[in-house]
């Protein structure tokens, strides 16, 4: 593994990401972020300026944010009730940032799903193992983060398989969830991933933490999108400092608004898919 290619992939993930689209117009959302960032520089023109009504100036009170476990064997099992969210982090692991995120999740007593890039897990197996050891759910995100729709079907299949294998090897466990890089899929690709027994993780709330916004703006945008939807799988990336920085404020605000963070737990399907009968 060459460091250069690793950081090129991280940079690509940072700049392009999935999840293309323009930043949403910022509403009047109030964030508790300022309460946790005393050294925050003067607010920019687009920063949220008002403070959270619920969390401002209170000590963090992280208990009570954790919701139920949901056993998942296939996509249809991920059925969230109102005010339920899933936290998901793509593109890691990376030193420093992933560990900061783990520490915050631990402080709030909640579990997330980490969709690891195979190349990254292979390069940082100890961090990948730490994610598993702390009880989080893992999945893969291809080996080198290509847009699978730009590849031939066979190359796309090889990327998915290599990524899954690398994450499983790095973590010493099965990685049964999968997310498409750039959320770029089609019917054939989704079918191929499902046929491998992997559970596709779609996204309902995109934090857009890959834009070079302030942490406060990322937290505000995420909460605003979530209020609009009521529940959902939240997409974040554990390769960005701003994501690690804003996470305590996001979780504080989620709790203040009565959300629960649910934990997806993979469960082997009761019946194996039927194999094609062989004449021999």
Secondary structure element (H or E) that encloses residue 168, with its range:
helix 153-171
Selected catalytic residue, list 237, 238, 240, 263:
237
Count of residues in contact with Zn ion, rule CB under 5 A: 3
Residues near 114 by beta carbon (within 8 Å), at least 6 away in sequence: 88, 89, 90, 92, 93, 98, 131, 136, 137, 138, 139, 238
Nearer to Zn ion, 1 or 15 (CB): 15
**Which positions from 154 through 193 interact with Zn ion, judged by CB under 5 A?**
181
Q: How far is the CB of 114 from Zn ion (least distance, A)?
A: 12
- What one-character-per-residue DSSP string does 197-223 give? TPEE---SEE--TTS---HHHHHHHHH
Name the segment binding Zn ion (CB under 5 A); options: 43-51, 73-81, 91-99, 209-217. 91-99
Nearer to Zn ion, 90 or 119 (CB): 90
User: What gap in Å lies between CA 7 and CA 106, rounded to an integer?
Assistant: 27
Whether the CB-CB separation of 202 and 30 falls below 8 Å is answered with: no
Residue 90 in contact with Zn ion, rule: CB under 5 A: yes
**Active site (annotated) includes residue 237:** yes
Nearer to Zn ion, 84 or 90 (CB): 90
Closest to 144 in 3D by CA, of 161, 126, 131: 161
**Which positions from 107 through 126 interact with Zn ion, judged by CB under 5 A?**
none
Nearer to Zn ion, 35 or 205 (CB): 205
Q: How far is the CB of 92 from Zn ion (least distance, A)?
A: 10
**Which positions from 223 through 262 interact with Zn ion, judged by CB under 5 A?**
none
Q: How far is the CB of 28 from Zn ion (least distance, A)?
A: 30
Q: Residue of minimal CB distance from Zn ion?
A: 90
- CA 196, 181, 241, 94 torsion-angle sign: positive
C-alpha to C-alpha distances, 103 to 26, 75, 188, 254, nearest whole angstrom: 29, 29, 38, 17
Selected catalytic residue, list 47, 90, 185, 206:
90
Residues near 157 by beta carbon (within 8 Å), at least 6 away in sequence: 192
**Active site (annotated) includes residue 69:** no
Residue 91 in contact with Zn ion, rule: CB under 5 A: yes
**Which positions from 46 through 65 interact with Zn ion, judged by CB under 5 A?**
none
Q: How far is the CB of 18 from Zn ion (least distance, A)?
A: 5
Nearer to Zn ion, 84 or 209 (CB): 209
Instruction: Identify any residues that bridge with 237 across adjacent strands, giving them in sequence order.
Output: 90
Whether the CB-CB separation of 14 and 6 falls below 8 Å is answered with: no
Q: How far is the CB of 173 from Zn ion (least distance, A)?
A: 21
Residue 206 in contact with Zn ion, rule: CB under 5 A: no
Question: Which residues of the chain form contacts with Zn ion (CB under 5 A)?
Answer: 90-91, 181
Q: Which residues are the active-site residues?
A: 90, 237
């Amino acid at each position: 593994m060459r460091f250069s290619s690793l950081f090129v992939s991280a940079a690509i993930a940072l700049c392009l990401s999935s999840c293309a689209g323009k930043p949403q117009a910022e509403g009047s959302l109030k964030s508790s972020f300022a309460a946790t960032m005393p050294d925050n520089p003067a607010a920019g023109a687009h920063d949220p300026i008002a403070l959270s009504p619920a969390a401002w100036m209170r000590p963090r009170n992280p208990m009570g944010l954790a919701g139920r476990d949901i056993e998942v064997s296939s996509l249809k099992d991920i059925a969230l009730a109102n005010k339920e969210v899933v936290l998901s982090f793509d593109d890691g692991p990376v030193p420093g940032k992933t560990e900061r995120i783990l520490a915050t999740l631990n402080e709030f007593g909640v579990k997330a799903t980490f969709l690891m890039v195979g190349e990254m897990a292979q390069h940082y197996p100890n961090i990948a193992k730490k994610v598993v050891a702390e009880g989080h759910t893992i999945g893969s995100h291809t080996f080198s983060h290509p847009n699978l729709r730009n590849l031939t079907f066979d190359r796309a299949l090889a990327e998915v398989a290599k990524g899954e294998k690398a994450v499983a090897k790095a973590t010493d466990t099965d990685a049964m969830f999968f997310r498409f890089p750039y959320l770029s899929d089609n019917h054939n690709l989704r079918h191929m991933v499902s046929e491998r027994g992997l559970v596709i993780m779609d996204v309902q709330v995109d934090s857009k933490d890959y834009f070079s916004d302030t942490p406060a703006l990322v937290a505000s945008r995420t909460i605003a999108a979530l209020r609009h939807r009521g529940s959902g799988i939240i997409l974040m990336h554990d390769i960005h400092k701003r994501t690690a920085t804003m996470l305590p404020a996001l979780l504080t605000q989620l709790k203040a608004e009565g959300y629960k963070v649910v934990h997806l737990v993979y469960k082997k399907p009761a019946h194996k898919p039927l194999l094609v009968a062989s004449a021999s």
